[in-house]
Amino acid sequence: MEIRNVISSDYNVISPLINEWWGGRQMSDMLPKLFFVHFNNTSFIAEIDGEIVGFLIGFLSQSDTDVAYIHFVGVNPEYRKKLIGKQLYNEFFNEVIKNNRNVVRAVTSPVNKVSIAYHTKMGFNIDNGDKVVDGVSVFSDYDGPNQDRVLFVKRID
Amino acid sequence: MEIRNVISSDYNVISPLINEWWGGRQMSDMLPKLFFVHFNNTSFIAEIDGEIVGFLIGFLSQSDTDVAYIHFVGVNPEYRKKLIGKQLYNEFFNEVIKNNRNVVRAVTSPVNKVSIAYHTKMGFNIDNGDKVVDGVSVFSDYDGPNQDRVLFVKRID
């Protein structure tokens, strides 16, 4: 497997795959092309024999110069359990360290139990929200009305 | 009217208003909270007597150090024709200049004739796409399948 930086034309390959990789959930609206155009240096593609099997879209916070943010990570379901996600996260962490930042943040939906378990396993902590859902602290209406979210944070120093 | 930088809690006020300001179009998915958290220094709020009447969400491209990008601009329909949008754009342009950048980019849907007319009036040029729709050059499938887009660019040196 090879990991490289995102280029904008990767979007044409990945965008049609997203809803499929997410088991039919309507996810592609969350990923406009701008993320593939303007955050190339902190976003990564995993390829096997020239086929894209995973990607991570992240950026450096402009508001907080110690923070980097992971917006979206996807792995082809046929290639799960091969540590592709872990390698993408590690590549991102290395880039964050190169940029002299120590804090990585990410956000997910409370329904996404796989993501919650995954981030916990990767050493992310969960910020204390205003309620607890299935044992997980959650921020109500974080991404708009009825859009509760779980907030992850990991220090990488 | 006052213009100030965005703070993350502005999202709680603006998010429920967005679909209403856009005449019922489902727009709020395009604006997750992350834009109100991580791009404060290049995003602005217009207020009259403490009421939010407009906002501009923009950021500095991480890929191209000469480029800044405007993601989303909204003005309360009851406060249109008062140059609120123009003042928000100018505030953004000033911040872009402060950051030693010369190129501002933005993207819109071909159906959004108001946005196309507005950006043209503001001195944006339209990039040459791969087809022409109603006299405007358009990039097919730019933001995913069947999501054509018009690309604007303006030099501010």
Angle at the Cα of A22 from the Cα atoms of A124 and B141, rounded to 5 degrees: 115
| Shared domain check, A111 and A85 | no
Q: Do B143 and A37 touch (CB under 8 A)?
A: no
| Shared domain check, A64 and A11 | yes
Q: Is the pLDDT of residue B108 over 90?
A: yes
Per-residue pLDDT band for B118 (boundaries 50, 70, 90) equals very high
Q: Do B29 and A33 touch (CB under 8 A)?
A: no
Lookup: tokens for B13? 């006020």
Report the residue of B19, B31, B63 to disrupt the A interface, i.e. the one with the largest count of A CBs within 10 Å. B63
What total number of domains does chain B contain? 2
Residue among A15, A61, A149 whose CB faces B144 most closely: A15
The amino acid at B52: I
| Shared domain check, A146 and A69 | no
| Shared domain check, B55 and B20 | yes
Which residues in chain A have their CB less than 8 angstroms from residue B15's CB? 143-145
Q: Do B60 and A62 touch (CB under 8 A)?
A: yes
> What is this structure's pTM?
0.95
Report the residue of A8, A20, A37, A153 to disrupt the B interface, i.e. the one with the largest count of B CBs within 10 Å. A37
| Shared domain check, A15 and A83 | yes
The span from the CA of B54 to the CA of B46, in Å, is: 5
3-class SS letters over chain A: CEEEECCCCHHHHHHHHHHHHCCCCCCHHHCCCHHHHHCHHHCEEEEECCEEEEEEEEEECCCCCCEEEEEEEEECHHHCCCCHHHHHHHHHHHHHHHCCCCEEEEEECCCCHHHHHHHHHCCCEECCCCEEECCEEEECCCCCCCCCEEEEEEECC
| Shared domain check, A111 and A35 | no
**pLDDT at residue B91, as a whole number:** 98
Let me know: does B74 contact B31? Beta carbons within 8 Å.
Answer: no
**pLDDT at residue A62, as a whole number:** 98
Residue bearing the bigger pLDDT, B124 or B19: B124
Residue A107 main-chain phi, psi, to 5 deg: -135, 140
**pLDDT at residue B14, as a whole number:** 94
Q: Do A145 and B63 touch (CB under 8 A)?
A: no
| Shared domain check, A8 and A56 | yes
- Domain C-terminal end among B84, B101, B118: B101
- Domain C-terminal end among A79, A101, A123: A101
Structural domain span for residue A38: 1-101
**pLDDT at residue A23, as a whole number:** 81
| Shared domain check, B131 and B109 | yes
Q: What is the pLDDT of residues B1-50, one digit of tens each?
A: 999 999 999 999 999 898 889 887 777 778 999 999 999 999 999 999 99
**pLDDT at residue B16, as a whole number:** 87
Residue among B41, B62, B142 whose CB faces A60 most closely: B62
| Shared domain check, A75 and A23 | yes
Nearest CA in chain A to B68: A38
pLDDT in tens, chain A (157 residues): 999 999 999 999 999 898 889 887 777 778 999 999 999 999 999 999 999 999 999 999 999 999 999 999 999 999 988 899 999 999 999 999 999 999 999 999 999 999 999 999 999 999 999 999 999 999 999 998 889 999 999 999 8
Which residues in chain A have their CB less than 8 angstroms from residue B34's CB? 69, 71, 107
| Shared domain check, B44 and B34 | yes
Residue A50 sits in a domain whose CATH number is: 3.40.630.30
| Shared domain check, B83 and B35 | yes
- Domain C-terminal end among B101, B124, B143: B101
| Shared domain check, A131 and A60 | no
Q: What is the pLDDT of residues B48-105, one digit of tens each?
A: 999 999 999 999 999 999 999 999 999 999 998 889 999 999 999 999 999 999 999 9
Angle at the Cα of A11 from the Cα atoms of A45 and B36, rounded to 5 degrees: 90
Nearest CA in chain B to A40: B63
